[in-house]
Structure 1
Amino acid sequence: MYGPPASDYWKNGRIDQWEKGNSLRWHQVVVPVSLADPLPAIAAHRQLALLGFMSDEGVRRNLGRVGAAKGPKAIRAALASLPYPWEAEHIGIWDAGDVCCLGKFLEDAQEDLGEKVEQLLDMGVLPLVLGGGHEVAWGHFQGIAKHMAKQQSKPSIAIINFDAHFDLRNYIDIGSSGTPFLQIAHECERRGWDFHYLVVGLQAAGNTRALFERAEELGVRYVLAEALYEQAITDFYSLLDAFIADKDFVYISCCLDVFSGAFAPGVSAVNGMGLAPWHVLPLLRRLVAAGKPFSFDIAELNPKYDIDGRTAKLAAQLLHAVVETIARQ
């Protein structure tokens, strides 16, 4: 079910009323819009839209800690007081509301999310999707696929997932937060498209042998978390550059459980040996700076277990970095 943005999302936040110059913050700039109503004209050079996915049904099915359905609200709260130094005519941000999973009807919610993502992409608006469990990825990709199918018969889509897990678990009738990228692989096969999937930050101890074998069968590429600790981050720039070089579209997903529990305690499955933010941030910026058409989501924020709001703040700063990188283009 889709709902417009809540009226109180952007009413609270710091105001630096005595400062000279641009001291605006996100809560003073974000424009709430309903995707069910006629949308305002796009005045900015680049228009972005926050879109929440309030679901943890996929996490429940995957036997994880539920609570991620409240993730979108927590991310917005963490974004509200961050500085917004960009000019309105260059970068515009809408809050496009939320898709909510009602009860156990996850597949319906994923279909609804796909419709809204497709609507935004068709308008030339960049979706920034706020999860929610990582089941958000299957809904998100549905929208990307429908949009890209209108552009060409066989588009080439690069999928980069910052994640401790492959999320390629097998499924029969229903998916979960552990199955979205296998569902995407099957959708690509159904459409006759190639499946281009790269996982960054993978934990060897977090994936069964069967998952590694499935990844090999599907031609999945991955970078282990330990490699990011052992090598300079810049060593991986060429890998990313080559992976997206000949692609028509780039889908970037960031599962917050890729980070160590020291930085991201508020997730569905805490990572005891995960990455630091500075392992991910340069790579994320590299992908965005490439200038390819792309869409982005953040998954698995669980406010119920978030100590001092650390994970929500991390998610907000990742989003801020994405917008900052776009603004520099």
Structure 2
Amino acid sequence: MKNVSIIGVPMDLGQTRRGVDMGPSAIRYAGVVERIENIGYVVKDEGNIEIALAERVHNDLKTNLKNLKAVADASERLASKVDHVITNGNFPLVLGGDHSIAIGTLAGVSKHYENLGVIWYDAHGDLNTADTSPSGNIHGMPLAASLGIGHPTLTNIFGYMPKIKPENIVIIGARSLDEGERELIKEIGIKVYTMHEVDRLGMAHVMEETISYLKDKTDGVHLSLDLDGLDPHDAPGVGTPVIGGISYRESHLAMEMLAESNVVTSAEFVEVNPILDERNKTATVAVALMGSLFGEKLL
């Protein structure tokens, strides 16, 4: 049975709404360690990555990126920790924090794979750069940065680029894409299941296609699950909610199918903001989905 290492990343510097730095604590409070142990795994909580108290800056006039150095420093530390966990043979489970943490997670994971697949479960594409971002918030850029697109400080985390290839990515649940992101998706050919496809095909079909698409051409798959991929009714405690999202039941089915396929080799759950939440509902949902991802069954 594989060991799981939990890494908390209390980062709120990739955007401007405070509170998401408390996400890892909320997820732990919701019982993540006990939940995964009860399935039969050995769980080691590695604690939190240290996040510097950055001077919160407006957009750097040279780069249009908020808190660039602080985000990059945290990403390097996270990449190193994830690399260490995988080297020791453990499954890295990263708890966010805003989605900018994926830059560090993917940098640490991808080093161990020739063709890492990525499932990006999110309302957003996170494919912006300094040139296309309306806000300068780095949590809207981690997928682009991991593809080697964007500011060199972000694309070169852990000393190499790119971390992933466009043909090895599947975005699921998209329903809010900026113009620059739409152009990039078409230009480099990223597979996207918007909510239109989820509704039209059904989640079971979407996951069957996703697993089939990634299984033969990748040697590992990273799941990056943003809780705003779910509908705000089910996951209200997120910084950038978009109505009309994936349901709680559909999300459980997706995680169960991933567990059955045995393709996922690392995962992160991000954007849990307890300040915006209702009685820790979103962290509780995150933990329940982790249970399904790790093979929890009703019977």
TM-score class, shorter-chain normalisation, is 0.7 to 0.9
Report the CA distance between 1:84 and its aligned residue: 5.0
Q: Distance in 2 between matches of 1:200 and 1:116?
A: 27
In structure 2, the residue matched to 1:279 is: 250
Alignment of 1:1-329 (within 5 A): 45-60=1-16, 65-79=17-31, 82=35, 84-87=37-40, 91-104=41-54, 105-148=70-113, 155-171=114-130, 176-186=138-148, 187=155, 190-191=161-162, 194-195=165-166, 196-203=168-175, 206-246=176-216, 247-292=218-263, 294-324=265-295
What SS does the aligned partner of 1:59 have? Answer: coil
Can you give the 5+ residue segments of structure 2 that lack an aligned partner in the other structure? 55-69, 149-154
Query: 1:49 is matched by which residue type in structure 2?
Result: S
Report the CA distance between 1:101 and its aligned residue.
Answer: 1.8
Q: Structure 1: which 4+ aligned runs deviate by more than 6 Å? A: none
Contact 1:57 1:103 survives alignment (8 Å): no
C-alpha distance in structure 2 between counterparts of 1:193 and 1:71, whole Å: 26
RMSD: 2.4
* Cα offset, 1:309, TM superposition: 1.3
Task: Please report how far the alpha carbon of residue 191 of structure 1 lies from its aligned counterpart in structure 2 after TM superposition.
Answer: 4.9
1:57–1:101 contact (8 Å) kept in structure 2:
no
Q: Cα distance, 1:293 vs. partner?
A: 5.5
Contact 1:165/1:202 (<8 A) preserved = yes
* Structure-2-length-normalised TM-score: 0.82
Q: Deviations over 1:250-292 (max 9, x none)?
A: 0101001111111111101122221211222222222232223
Query: Quick one: which amino acid aligns to residue 138 of structure 1?
Result: I
CA drift of 1:240 comes to 1.4
Task: Indicate how the Cα distance of structure 1 residues 239 and 293 shifts in structure 2: closer, same or farther if over 3 A, else same.
Answer: closer
Q: Which residue of 2 aligns with 1:19?
A: none
2: CA distance, partners of 1:192 / 1:229: 31
Deviation at 1:68, TM superposition (A): 0.7
Once residues 83 and 140 of structure 1 are traced to their aligned partners in structure 2, the CA distance between those partners, rounded to angstroms, is: 20
Evaluate the alpha carbon distance shift between residue 192 and residue 324 of structure 1 in structure 2; reply closer, same or farther with a 3 A threshold.
Answer: closer
Q: Please name the residue that 1:33 is paired with.
A: none
Task: Go from structure 1 to structure 2 and tell me whether the alpha carbon gap of 1:320 and 1:230 turns closer, same or farther (over 3 Å shift).
Answer: same
What amino acid maps onto 2:18 in structure 1? V
Tell me, in whole angstroms, the C-alpha distance in 2 between the residues paired with 1:211 and 1:124. Answer: 35
Structure 1 residues 143 and 77, CA gap change in structure 2 (3 angstroms): same
Give, in whole Å, the separation in 2 of the partners of 1:197 and 1:249. 12
Q: TM-score, normalised by structure 1?
A: 0.75
Residue identity in the other structure for 1:202: A
Q: Distance in 1 between matches of 2:25 and 2:253?
A: 26
Instruction: Please state whether the residue corresponding to 1:177 is helix, strand or coil.
Output: helix
Pick 1 or 2: higher relative contact order, CA cutoff 8 A, min separation 6. Answer: 2
SS of corresponding position for 1:51: strand
The residue identity in structure 2 corresponding to 1:79 is G
- Give the conservation status (yes or no) of the 8 Å contact 1:102–1:109: yes
Is this contact kept in 2: 1:289–1:325, CA < 8 A? no
Unaligned runs of 5+ in 1: 1-44, 149-154
The Cα of 1:227 is off from its aligned counterpart by 2.5
**What's the offset of the Cα at 1:82?**
4.8
| 2:49 partner letter | V
**Alignment partners' CA distance in 2, 1:126 and 1:178:** 26
After superposition, the Cα gap between the structure-2 partners of 1:268 and 1:98, relative to the gap in structure 1 and judged at 3 Å, is same
Deviation at 1:208, TM superposition (A): 2.1
Same amino acid, percent of matched pairs: 24
Paired positions, count: 267
Task: For residues 52-104 of structure 1, give each alpha carbon's deviation from its aligned partner in whole angstroms, at most 9, with x where no partner exists.
Answer: 011010022xxxx22111100000000167585434xxx20111111132123
Q: Relative to 1, partners in 2 of residues 1:53 and 1:181: Cα closer, same or farther, differing over 3 Å?
A: same
Query: 3-state SS of the aligned residue for 2:268?
Result: strand
